[in-house]
Amino acid sequence: MPQMAPPAAATRLLLSGNEAVARAVWESGVRVAAAYPGTPATEIIESVARYPDLHAEWSVNEKVSMEVALGASMTGARAFCAMKHVGLNVASDCLMTMTITGANGGLVIAVADDVGMSSSQNEQDSRFWGRFAHIPVLEPADSQEAYEMTKLAFDFSEKYETPVLLRLTTRICHVKGLVTVGERVAHEPAGFVKNPQRWVMVPAHAKTRIPSLFQRDETLRAVSEASPLNVLEAGTDRSVGFVASGPAYMHVKEAFPNAPVLKLGFSYPWPPQKVRELAAMCDKLVVVEETELLLETEIKAAGIACHGKDVLPRIGELSPQVLIPAVDRLLGKPVPPPAPAAAPLKVFPRPPTLCASCPHMGIYYTLSQIKNIIVSGDIGCYTLGAGHPWNALDTTICMGATMGVALGIDKGRGEVDKNKRILAVIGDSTFMHMGMQGLLDITYNKGNVTVLLLDNNTTGMTGGQATPASGKDIHGKEAPRVDLAKVVEALGVPNERIKVVDPYELPVLFKTIRDEIKTEGPSVIIARRPCVLIDDFKPFRPYLVEEDKCTGCGNCIEVGCPAIHVTHREKVIKPSGKEVELAFVNIDNQACTGCGLCVQPCAPDAIQHVPRRDIPIHIVKT
């Protein structure tokens, strides 16, 4: 990964919120930065890793990334970790003790909430962790603030010896703006000082530190009241005032530019006196928060009348299109009926799908052909196996859950499911993130589960980041490579029940799965083929359809490759009198990389290699 050339002081750069945070991390003199990739936070550490003079890493999961950052902070070094909202759940075990030990060197945790669930299995509000863990929460509203608040957070962390939570949302992470940046200021660690009463969190030590945690709460509340990050803006329209933070503040200013607003950049602890001042400026007070009624509840508990989720939706972004009619109704203003919906355009549906030649397609095509099975899935590109045309996943809960869920199904099933086979599907990165413990639980408790470990040599869903099994580090340099087969054996799977297959070889794959699910006890099938979007993938000679041979059987369509297109359909009557629809296809050989998955189910042998003279140069295999 190429390093960035640091610009001169006071340079203005066009940066996303993620890039702005990364820039501030570097300028703040951070020595250690760690993360596990997860949208919308992935690009933070990717950007940090391009700067010199610090250690950046992909950790195996978010909990480890936070522990790495805490260890660095213990030495007096400035440290940083980043994750998406569900990743903070994984890291919470460390967080809830770290809040008692406090920080030594500045320690900042960036968490990105996916408001609207554009790429997540739930919609969480990470502000709760500030209250739960008794740590301050800063909320930027644009890229410039993301940069400034990150730098301020490190100073704040060291001054009050506390971790600081920087709460971002998808809109902050991915929207770009001009940011005035500076230069790096180095911070030399003072060194680790032995102090078991602080760093060894046995009950006796923890009890002595709890009172200081509550004292810190009181100190921070006073700081919040005086903080320039909490800005009270007087308005000319007294009919309604707003409390807002982050992108919600921007939405309020766009929708109601003349209203008084309390902008909370330092949102926990919140400043009660400033809220009371705002309430005195307006007839009605509305709390605009994405997504939970967290602040609204606390404001009401303080005896301040306000509105919030009684007029605003509980889910999604609170854009001006949402705010204006909701507030108008509150004020008794006429709200025009919504414009009639335009007739939907007649376009071909484009649901999310796997890439052309994705090795996961062979897995799901095969599973779709096997009956009487229950398939537990996990988080990754391969979650798309639940969709058309495969419909091959029955559960997906959270990172690493496939193993425990599969074991639970195995142990909990009754007569109706007793003859069904149980499979668990998990990717290589997810397996190392949180799947190994689940496999150990299967072997330890003698589960009758077959695990399909999809080894595509990367973290595919978030953009092809390196993993411990890829043999590369965050910079693309050589690193020790984990042998997944040896790990699986070490976790208790007998050697003879560990199979390594090529997911492009459908007959072998089908037979291996069929044999393993018929055999009692735990087994693991490692399906090994690199992701088509990384450098390790080498394309083959592409294919085309010979139209005169195609019978319209549609077998190739069931593979699910997006390079295969239906050109036309025909209805015919079989000799039996049954009407069937035939689907005739072609292959986009600019997208085809020659995996051959579609060739194997093609009964009439209508799919052939593109003549060499017609092969697109960029996909020739050497």
Token pair 């092809």 is found at: 464
Report the amino acid identity of residue 166. Answer: L
Question: What SS3 class is residue 242?
Answer: strand
Report the amino acid identity of residue 501. Answer: V
Q: How far is CA 139 from the centre of its chain?
A: 19
Query: Which residues, in sequence order, are CB contacts of 496 under 8 Å at separation 6+?
Result: none
Q: From CA 119, how far away is CA 461, in angstroms rounded?
A: 10
Q: From CA 17, how far away is CA 170, in angstroms rounded?
A: 9
Torsion sign, CA atoms 299, 304, 310, 311:
negative
Annotated binding residues for [4Fe-4S] cluster, as ranges? Answer: 550, 553, 556, 561, 592, 595, 598, 602
Query: What's the Rg (C-alpha) of the chain?
Result: 28
Q: How many CA atoms lie within 13 A of 124 on its CB side?
A: 20
> 608 φ, ψ to 5°?
-130, 160
The DSSP secondary-structure symbol of 483 reads -
β-pairing, 32-35 vs 607-609, is: unpaired
Query: Which residues, in sequence order, are CB contacts of 118 under 8 Å at separation 6+?
Result: 39, 40, 170
Q: From CA 120, how far away is CA 288, in angstroms rounded?
A: 22
Biggest CA-to-CA distance, the chain: 86
Annotated binding residues, as ranges? Answer: 550, 553, 556, 561, 592, 595, 598, 602
> 460 and 532 in contact (C-beta within 8 Å)?
no
**Two tokens, residue 480:** 């020790």
> 377 and 393 in contact (C-beta within 8 Å)?
yes
> 51 and 33 in contact (C-beta within 8 Å)?
no
- The C-alpha angle with vertex 279 and arms to 276 and 284, in degrees rounded to 5, equals 155
State the Cα torsion 319-322-324-327 to the nearest 10°. Answer: -120
Q: From CA 249, how far away is CA 260, in angstroms rounded?
A: 11
> 172 and 142 in contact (C-beta within 8 Å)?
yes
Q: From CA 492, how far away is CA 512, in angstroms rounded?
A: 20
- Residue 218 pairs with which residues in a beta bridge? none
